[in-house]
Structure 1
Amino acid sequence: MPQPSSDPPFRPALFLDRDGVLNEDRGYVYRWEDFIWIPGAREVVAAFNKAGWLVIVVTNQSGVGRGYYAEEDVHALHARMQEDLAQAGGRIDAFYHAPQHPEAPIETYRHPDPPLRKPNPGMLLQAMADWPIDREASLMIGDKPSDLEAALRAGVRGVLFEGGDLYAFLRDEDLLPT
């Protein structure tokens, strides 16, 4: 007789790029006072939470490697995002960021082909190792071809968001969970 599994059930994940998908991409956003939500972004997070999906942010943050701001700034901004999302009934289950860059002046962050940095799939693959994710049912929303390339290389469906209201976009593309 098979033994019951104590492993958590696999769930789909909504992978989201940050700048340009969740917030306006104003170039190296790392301070809350410069952060502006994309219309519909908070509602999307809450809708996927309610449907039982994991919501995971995967964001290149080369500004760290370039010396524009510190990793602590990235974590502080993500904490503020969580606080604001909680007021809207949503949450992000995990944040992954890639501070490395091939030309980073800070040697610690310099790498010729950073495995975490999109278009490489490292952040998505790490999330799938850390969480019980159903890869085939998951979705990545990005605003750049590199986001879609990372999704493809991780075996996840990728969709290009070119701006506007994120909730309306996903509704119109019939991608909101039921």
Structure 2
Amino acid sequence: MTKKIYIFIIVVVSIVLVSCGSTIVTETYTGTGGDIIDGVNTFTIDVPDEGWVLDVFEITLTDLNYAVASDLLIRAEKVDSHRVTLIDQRAGTNSFTGTYTFVDNSDEAGLSRIVTYTGVIVPEVYQSEADFGIFEETVLTGTWQLTILDWTAENNGTLGSWSIELEYDERSPENQNSLL
């Protein structure tokens, strides 16, 4: 008897979502990188799709090369909305040489807790320094930005590209609160 009730509830929820015109999409948006020089460096992704963010799964920095990780503060943001810190100058004197993915609510360690003896931070998946939940219910359309603050004048580096993988509801932002 209990199984039939659960099946009925699932069918009703599915019908409501379909009748609302709601379509859930998982998408990865990619932006170009460039040189990392002293001061503020910004890299953008212009997202044309309409909808609102349900969840941000990961933010990836591809081909990040920089000699002293502790020189950098790296943030991702939805311009005119919210931002999160990925790296907060606590990665020591190790270097970045590869692709680094930051996730939310993970069992993975954050860079601030990584100790290396090789002098290179291993290109892997790490937990972000801040909660990606801040992006939930943010309007998807518009400019997403990665900011890399290089605090010292001695080192420069490069970023090949960056990407953000997220899930969003295709309903237009104006209709996000209407259920029927």
TM-score normalised by L of structure 1: 0.31
Structure with a larger share of its residues in strand:
2
Structure with a larger share of its residues in helix:
1
> Larger radius of gyration, structure 1 or 2?
2
TM-score normalised by L of structure 2: 0.30
Greater RCO (Cα-Cα under 8 Å, separation 6 or more): 2
